[in-house]
Structure 1
Amino acid sequence: MDMSEETPQSEYILRPMNCELNQLSMPDGSAMLMQGNTAVIAGIYGPVEAKLQKMIYDKASVEVSYSPIKGPTKVDDRMTEMYIKETCEAAIIVTFHPATAICINVQELEDSGGMLACTINAACLALINAGIPMKFTIAAINCMIQKDSEDIILDPDNIQLQEAKAEFTFAFDSMDKNVICCYTTGCFTETEFLKTMDRCKQASQYVFDFYRNLVKKYANVI
């Protein structure tokens, strides 16, 4: 992993990741992903025939449904759907399957911090599992800046997030490590923003390596 010399390698360590593919029998592809104690399951249906009002004649439409662990879908959940949709849409080669729909269903299982990053990563793994053609894969990283120390903490859990003055989620593509999506809360300077983005970009390699090893393991099954 290409780490900068000034920053110790330990600072790029994320919470342990575990994933099971093909957990669901009905979808065309699925992935249950745990990052620390945060867990989601994503299922892909498609390409399927698109509903008339959502059909795009020259490309596939991407539809996302996100379900919280309890209660009805809230405004924040709709925003999560939008981030998953826009991120996955950037990665999928939508022109391969015109006039169809690719449906991504994500179910929250446990939220222990970094939920948006976990959902994007799970959706990406489920797309790989479903064999959907993609230009690149996506790795999402969550991080925070601590109130008092101003330290950047990668992949914080809920207890650490209570001490956050700002929280960031970045998603990067596997080709050029460009930012595909970015979600922020709290107050921060431009310097802090760029520093956290760079730290997350370095850490994204860990996620891409995890994908690669996982796909190798499941190569006979997929």
Structure 2
Amino acid sequence: MTPRTPAPGSVTEATCTRCQILKPAAAFYANPLTRKGLHSRCIECMKDVGALRREVPKTTAAEATCNVCGWLKPSSEFHVNRRRFNGLTNRCRACAQDYYQAKRRGIIEYQRQHRWEDARVRMASDARRRDRKHGRESDIKAKDIVIPRACPVTGKPIYHGYGVRMAWSPCLERIDKSKGFVKGNWRVVSWEAVEASGWQLTRT
């Protein structure tokens, strides 16, 4: 915004709504949306208001009320936030810790669910690709794959999401090797069980 020099015949002066002083039009910023074509506050008052908004409190309040639990607590129970008027956060330390722990648990659960979902998609896609390569019939879909918590062969837990293939990673195995991945002809086992039964035989 730039100061406006009024054209001949237009408004030559106006009163600031903050300091209530009658000033020439050059002391106001231009605002074409108003009737006079000027801001309601003069340039000096607008700069003062901006400075007050940017002012950082040098001291914190002795006590404050938590917006979550509603308790009045001393300032030592809050984190410092210099951007707020009292220099303290709106949540106490205990409520803030509970909030972020719950948020972290939600994120971890979301990631865990999507890791398993992505694993099923990749396993189904890989199985269909292998059946096409060898000319076998295949009707496997990601939603039909159920990854057990433990391997049915070794009895050990199955995990996923480490980014590399490990002994406990899930893998699809055909029960009848003469057929493709059709309904009822596959099961999910760990890579340890696959390698123990013969990697070449199972992966073809």
TM-score relative to the length of structure 2: 0.23
- Larger relative strand fraction: 1
Pair member with larger Rg: 2
Structure of higher RCO (CA pairs closer than 8 Å, 6+ residues apart):
1
